[in-house]
Chain A
Amino acid sequence: MLEDFDKAFENRVRLGIMAILMVNEWVEFLTFKELLDLTDGNLASHITSLEKSGYIEIKKSFIGRKTNTTYKATKKGKNAFDKHLKAIEALVKK
């Protein structure tokens, strides 16, 4: 079972970001910041790492002159999260 534990989700912030993206379609940077109570830099580094794993995709658009960045979980990311969650649940049930 332990091999199902995903290294990308060892960190609580990354696990939190994915949890939010599992139940929402496109989520803004600011929303993550509020829900997870993080600084910009901290959040950005975890987002970048999830993107590198191919677990999330990023969309940049403009609202007036401000950039608005939103994030979405990829299919790969959702599968990985599901697998990781099942592994934790199996451990808890023991």
Chain B
Amino acid sequence: MHTENNTHTETLSDIKNLMERSTRFISLSGISGITTGIIAITGVVLFCYYYSIDPFSGDLSILNQLPADNIINALLTAFAILVLSIGSAVILSVQKSRKMKVNVWGNSSKRFLINFFLPLIASGIFCLLLAFEIPDLVLPLSLIFYGMVLFNAGNYTISVIRSLGVIEMLLGIFCLVFINYHIVFWTIGFGVMHIIYGFNIYFKSDRNNA
């Protein structure tokens, strides 16, 4: 009787596993999280170095003092970070899909992509326009938006992404409360957290499927 019970438990976990694998995009690459984090930190460091900005100075007016042209440079830096991050995520996830022998362009990946990119693009455009009006709000808001995007997209991919979403939202709120250090919080959110979660996914998922 005991072994029969085990078979049933196994059947239930098989069913759950199949349901997950058929609906979630599970080949999201952990390494791409790490590269995204490194790209974000590098971008911030280069930008601060170029404009001699000290993110720890607690001086809020640093972004406001930049002449209008430089807002565009800040946006270009952010855009470059975004393109490089997404590019690396796509390439590495396609590679992981191949290793795991799952369809890269299946229902689950389409569902994940639309749920990730649609809100991301909308919030991106919002932040872009806001940058010319109230530049200081862009960093906390982009963290909160990104957190909400991940919280939603986490339903369609590896589930830990949802908890990353919660952390990004919290960091966004902290970033607004301690707005004098907004660059620091932004770097923790987009840099450090990506690297931590990247390692987490790498050790839990990438390595088992290599």
Residues of A within 8 A of B (CB): 12, 15-16, 19-20, 22-24, 27, 30-31, 34-36, 85, 88-89, 91-92, 94
Contact = CB atoms under 8 A, between A and B. Distances in A.
Interface residues of B, number: 17
B12 A22 contact: no
B19 A23 contact: yes
Interface of B: 5, 8-9, 11-12, 14-15, 18-19, 21-23, 101-103, 106-107
Contact of B23 (A23, A36, A91): A23
Contacts of B21: 35
A20 B18 contact: yes
B18 A35 contact: yes
A92 B5 contact: yes
Nearest to B1: A94
Contact of A34 (B11, B14, B103): B103
B107 A20 contact: no
Given A88-B8, A88-B11, A92-B12, A19 B19 contact: yes
B14 A16 contact: yes
B8 A91 contact: yes
B8 A23 contact: no
Contacts of A19: 14-15, 18-19, 22
Contact of B12 (A12, A20, A89, A94): A89
A71 B205 CA distance: 30
A73 to B, nearest CB: 12
Question: Which of A19, A20, A31 is packed against the most chain B CB atoms within 10 Å?
Answer: A19
A85 B19 CA distance: 13
Nearest to A21: B22
A90 to B, nearest CB: 10
Nearest to B17: A19
A27 B19 contact: no
A27 B8 contact: no
Contacts of B12: 85, 88-89, 92
11 contacts: A12-B11, A16-B18, A19-B14, A19-B18, A19-B19, A20-B19, A24-B107, A34-B102, A36-B18, A85-B15, A88-B11
A48 to B, nearest CB: 20
